[in-house]
Structure 1
């Protein structure tokens, strides 16, 4: 089991790092199965040994090795449809990419690999808003952005 925090660089008066605690800011949460363990135990042992070292350079190498480990995990990951959080994130990402198209519950349910009824219930329970209301809010938000940032006519937007 791996536990780690992800930090995002923030710039105000000083360079700071803020932990990403919100689910939508980091794409992976929960259990990820990997089809081939391969080098994973070697990476884990090396990270553990480097983390215990006194020198900052060795600890830095441990961080680098962790990134290699993470790359290996993501590259060889098998995402299961049973992970409802990941399934919903895939559907929500599809909505954000294709908001200007005709998006249906059936399409989103296929992307999430669940039944349409279950998708509707799960989306509402998870995000507190229906999928179609979320899509409408997304479209309105993008239209507002376009009105502010472009010189396009309102009817074109």
Structure 2
């Protein structure tokens, strides 16, 4: 992003993107470690009422997992809000989703199954307006992302 764009009120997403990548990377590592430790606890038949060091490590990894899960949610929300705000600052017309609702739909029962996808689709398409190579239909990457989001939520519950 050049300085003229920044003077217009657009804010670079670079810092938010870096934070997001770091937090999600740590979250994925912690998830892998936690699953491995709990798998070992269950596989060895360790009494979960005992004081086995492996059980303690598994419990601590679960705590780190929870903290990183919340941190990743916060990082995604900040990135998504700013990305949508930049669309408005750039003067893109006919936007259906305001920055706060691009984030808010993730927390609305029932609507969280489809509204976040629609908001992300708007962000994706509006961000690529100058690219004639981008088809009008939804990009496959966006569909894969949404399928992973839905599948992940179903598995987690």
TM-score bracket, normalised by the shorter chain, equals: under 0.3
TM-score by length of 2: 0.26
Larger strand fraction of residues:
1
TM-score by length of 1: 0.26
Larger helix fraction of residues:
2
